[in-house]
Structure 1
Amino acid sequence: MSATAETSPAPSAAVITEPLPDLQLQLLIQLLDEDPRSSLPLTLTHSGGILHGDVIGHEQWKAEWARSLRQVEGEGANLLAEFPETVDQGVRELRAEEDASGAARLPRWIHLRDVTLVSGAMTPVSLPLWRGRLSDVSGWALGRPQ
């Protein structure tokens, strides 16, 4: 045995990794967020298949989502009508914490209206609104399939 003991390297801190969203798509969404009336036709690929619709900004999506929640009937309908604003309040609080830490605020979510989801051999599914995580989008193109 040698006079110097071998030491193993100190354990490094755990590194959490997640897929990175496409920067150009994030910037496009950020641009759409500046004008609540704007939209663009977009086709996305993700693990569930192909999705196409009109990409819209968060505020426009939230307004349309709130409108659809107000159409729900039943005892919990009043609570649902206030839900989008409750969620946004939580998001504002998280963003305030991010601002304090100096973290960037690029969009993490994408919102589409008048959506068609095509998945394998299944019949295409039409949806009025869709929200997805940008890091789950593996490809995109302006326009819809013809």
Structure 2
Amino acid sequence: MSNSEGPATEPDTEVGHPGIVEPVLDMDLRLLVDLMDSDEAKEAAVGVTLNVPGGIVSGNIIGREAYLDSWDALTRGSGMSGLSGFQREAERALDRAGVPKPTDFPRWIHLRDAAVMTPNQLVRFPIWRGRLADVSGWFLGVLRDDPKA
């Protein structure tokens, strides 16, 4: 049995409720995110524009580790220095608590040099993170402030 949101899973008969249902993700985008995540040098990036709830986001897809390094660099030495290492520490705490990690596919997409399209302008952010399942459409290439550029 399936629905438009994604494949249904078999019910968990021991607990008496259905299993977790994951949305069907765009395979090409999944593979692109996997490719960026596997870049051990943390130098790979691909320009994309994403259609997500609430609007359009554009930037360079980077791997998870590159995103975490950028997060730490942005928060270190600023008024937010207490947040440096926050995401890595949260992950370690989940590991210590025995929370299983989803390893079958990426759940997040990370962008560097991101821009969010508003009705009047592009608002820039050094990094951006969104749920891969929320991307309803995408294309290669980034939005520019000057359409003639």
TM-score strictly above 0.5: yes
Q: Point out which structure has higher relative CO (alpha carbons under 8 A, 6+ apart).
A: 1
RMSD: 2.6
Q: Structure 1 residues 104 and 60, CA, compared in 2 at 3 Å: closer, same or farther?
A: closer
Q: CA deviation at 1:87?
A: 2.4
Structure 1: tracts of 5 or more residues without a match: 1-11
Letter paired with 1:25: L
Cα contact 1:27–1:106 (8 A) shared by 2: no
Shift of 1:96: 7.4
Q: Secondary structure at the match of 1:97?
A: coil
Q: Which has the higher helix share?
A: 1
- What's the counterpart of residue 136 of structure 2? 138
Look up the SS of the partner of 1:52 in the other structure: strand
Per the normalisation by structure 2, the TM-score is 0.72
Structure 1 position 89 matched with structure 2 position 92? yes
C-alpha distance in 2 between matches for 1:108 and 1:91 = 16
| SS of residue paired to 2:100 | helix
Q: Which residue of structure 2 aligns with residue 34 of structure 1?
A: 38
TM-score (norm 1): 0.73
| Partner amino acid, structure 1, of 2:122 | P
CA distance in 2, matches of 1:124, 1:131: 17
- Return 5+ residue gaps in structure 2 as ranges: 1-15
Q: Rg larger in 1 or in 2?
A: 1
Whether 2:24 is the aligned partner of 1:20: answer yes
SS in 1 for 2:84: helix
